Structure 1
Amino acid sequence: MTWLRKPWVGPLAFVVVAFVAFSLPPYLTGDRAAARVQSDWGPHYPLLVVHVVCASIAIITCVVQIWPWFRTRFPAWHRRIGRVYVIAGVLPAGLAGLVIGWMTPFGPVAMVSNVLMASLWLLFTVLAWRAALKRQFRDHRKWMIRSFALTVSIISNRIWGAVAFVLLADSVPEAQLPYLIAGISTWAGWTIPLLISQWWLERKPRRKARPQVEQRETVPA
């Protein structure tokens, strides 16, 4: 089966579903105390819920969108799910992310990272959609890969946050630790996946070696 030639699809889908299953439920209860990020600013919690719910839609639909087998086998569904990814996922999640990123309680370093990431996420996604409407599918693929890198960067963010905590917990004052971890994880969380995606786009594919034709020695008559 051709879809087996892309062995990364299954593990990626598993990680995404597991991440959403773990991260989303606390934001569906309406309990502010269950939120991962706490803020005294009134609209912060409802905007955070919008961001988390819509980002969950984006990350799940995005995995389907980049699956080559599904994309080529079901082009009509690829377009429909793409609209869901943009309209119900990235746009509301990104706009809400701009506001809550600006109002983050974790200091100016995390604030700049969150706002910049949300702005690029919206920009890359709009450019990908615009290229698809113009049937510029090569450009659409490039912008979509960049958008995908930022969509799944939330998973990378959590990984870098855990690494930073393990490395710094015993050497940084407790009052400063959340700000330092937030600064490291927010920046590393999206810049590293974006750099990897750019490397992927600019890499030169390997050329298949041509079979060597065996030359036979000829003996002159």
Structure 2
Amino acid sequence: MRITRAGWAVMTVLSAFIVVVSAKYLSFDPSTFFRHQRATYLSHRLPLYVHIFGALTALLIGPWQFSRRLRERRPRLHRRIGATYLLGCLVGAVGALLLAPVAYGGAVTGAGFACLAVAWLVTGGAGLRAILDGRVSDHRRWMIRSFALTFAAVMLRLMLLAATAAHLDFRTSYTAIAWLCWVPNLLLACRFTRARPTARR
């Protein structure tokens, strides 16, 4: 379950880049809102900002949870970062669940984002429960799965950029991306963290 240095670096840089790009929403300027959803966001500002603040917090600090040097040299800091990450996930997921019913693209899009939020809560809760029970290996597995879902924020924007460059129908693309930005991430994370069978003599 080790993450290579190159993989960690790419993950961290992409996460930080999306945080910087998305931080414009915290200016509370309606002109920065998603154009197709601007009117809806104006009438749902509280859940929007709750989601943005929580998700950006989780995305920014999440990669540092996988730094082995930090875990070994500063375990107390690791725990504090972990608690902040889980709080960010909780806040972000609550905001996402409130926004899902009014998501651009209709019921299928909303269901995709709602399922992502629920999976986010489940993986984070399982990771917290595992570490409280002293099951460190299980904790690591669940936190990898949790961050794979957090990383959906990065995949969503990369996929939207690719769809726009390919001149695909935006509504159709957005509906598909509501699922594609996180389901493959979670499947890969589950495969990556699959428990290896113990060899017998």
**C-alpha RMSD over aligned residues:** 2.2
Alignment partner of 2:38: what SS?
Answer: coil
The CA deviation string for residues 167-201 of structure 1, in whole angstroms up to 9 with x for no partner, is 453xxxxxxx3320111211110011111111211
1:204 Cα offset (Å): 5.6
Q: Which runs of 5+ in 1 are unaligned?
A: 170-176, 206-221
Change in CA separation of 1:42 and 1:35 when aligned onto 2, cut-off 3 Å: closer
Alignment partner of 2:127: what SS?
Answer: helix
Q: Supply the distance in 2 between the matched residues of 1:153 and 1:40 (Cα, whole angstroms).
A: 22
Alignment of 1:153-192 (within 5 A): 153-169=152-168, 177-192=169-184
Q: Supply the distance in 2 between the matched residues of 1:156 and 1:86 (Cα, whole angstroms).
A: 20
Aligned residue for 1:71? 71
Alignment partner of 2:193: what SS?
Answer: helix
Q: Which runs of 5+ in 2 are unaligned?
A: none
Is 1:202 equivalent to 2:194 in the alignment? yes
Q: Supply the distance in 1 between the matched residues of 2:94 and 2:38 (Cα, whole angstroms).
A: 19
Q: Supply the distance in 2 between the matched residues of 1:99 and 1:158 (Cα, whole angstroms).
A: 21
Report which of the two has the higher share of helix.
2
Give the letter for the 1:185 counterpart: I
User: Could you list the runs of 4 or more consecutive aligned residues of structure 1 that deviate by over 6 angstroms after TM superposition?
Assistant: none
Tell whether the 8 Å contact from 2:40 to 2:102 is kept in structure 1 after alignment.
no
Tell whether the 8 Å contact from 1:146 to 1:198 is kept in structure 2 after alignment.
yes
Change in CA separation of 1:201 and 1:29 when aligned onto 2, cut-off 3 Å: same
Q: Which has the larger radius of gyration?
A: 1
1:118 Cα offset (Å): 0.4
Query: May I ask how many residue pairs the two structures share in their alignment?
Result: 194
Alignment partner of 1:106: what SS?
Answer: coil
Q: Supply the distance in 2 between the matched residues of 1:18 and 1:160 (Cα, whole angstroms).
A: 15
Aligned residue for 1:45? 45
1:103 Cα offset (Å): 1.6
Identity %: 27
Alignment of 1:21-100 (within 5 A): 21-25=20-24, 27-36=25-34, 37-40=37-40, 43-87=43-87, 89-100=88-99
Normalised by the length of structure 1, the TM-score is 0.80
1:12 Cα offset (Å): 2.1
1:132 Cα offset (Å): 0.9
Tell whether the 8 Å contact from 2:30 to 2:42 is kept in structure 1 after alignment.
no
